[in-house]
A and B are shown apart, each in its own frame.
Chain A
């Protein structure tokens, strides 16, 4: 079954404690990205990757890091989380970045930073 899997699904952490949200897709997609979703702000892209070892900033990259060492995995790293990073995070993948490619989303990770 085609899917995007992200973990953890729910996490409460404290300010400054480094955390990683993993993301894996089994569709051999080149393009992967991370979004955060906040009330009234919709889906905002944090980082994206067009292929292995190719990553770039999205609209709201501050406070986040990513890596793409393998095609299937695209972890999101919060080196020093702050309360304003409390949000719902989605990992997504598509065949490529080009228009017209269906975007597949993971189930989401609820992150609370206290």
Chain B
């Protein structure tokens, strides 16, 4: 199945600092989705990227899909304590091939 590597695995930041997590695939993806899981919660869909080089923003969150459609990033500007959680990328391989979720990046924010 399709596999992705997500880095870093953990990130600890001071409130107000920026944060970025990366999702890298060895093969070309048809699309990629990002999910957020709060501590004790369940994964919740954030966004989907489909086009090469696509950039989407949700308030302080910026999502990017690489030109080669093999990697993606999520950048949070000026983190807040509400950003705490684990961010997962979920790749789409196309043709209904099996997805293998990234292991996620756990973000902790010091107030």
B111 neighbours in A (Cβ, 8 Å)? none
In the complex, which residue of chain A has the Cβ closest to the Cβ of B86?
A42
- For chain B, the bracket of interface size reads 20 to 34
B101 contacts A107, CB within 8 Å?
Answer: no
B101 contacts A43, CB within 8 Å?
Answer: yes
Looking at B15-23, B74-82, B91-99, the stretch in contact with chain A turns out to be B91-99
What number of residue pairs across chains A and B have CB atoms under 8 A from each other? Answer: 49
B30 neighbours in A (Cβ, 8 Å)? 99-100
Main secondary structure of the interface of B (DSSP, over half): loop
A103 contacts B50, CB within 8 Å?
Answer: no
| B90 in the interface (beta carbon within 8 A) | yes
- Asked, given contacts A104-B45, A107-B42, A108-B42, whether A99 binds B88 with beta carbons under 8 Å apart, the answer is no
In the complex, which residue of chain A has the Cβ closest to the Cβ of B100?
A59
- Asked, given contacts A42-B104, A59-B1, whether A99 binds B92 with beta carbons under 8 Å apart, the answer is yes
| B102 in the interface (beta carbon within 8 A) | yes
Whole-angstrom distance between the Cβ of A67 and the nearest chain B Cβ: 21
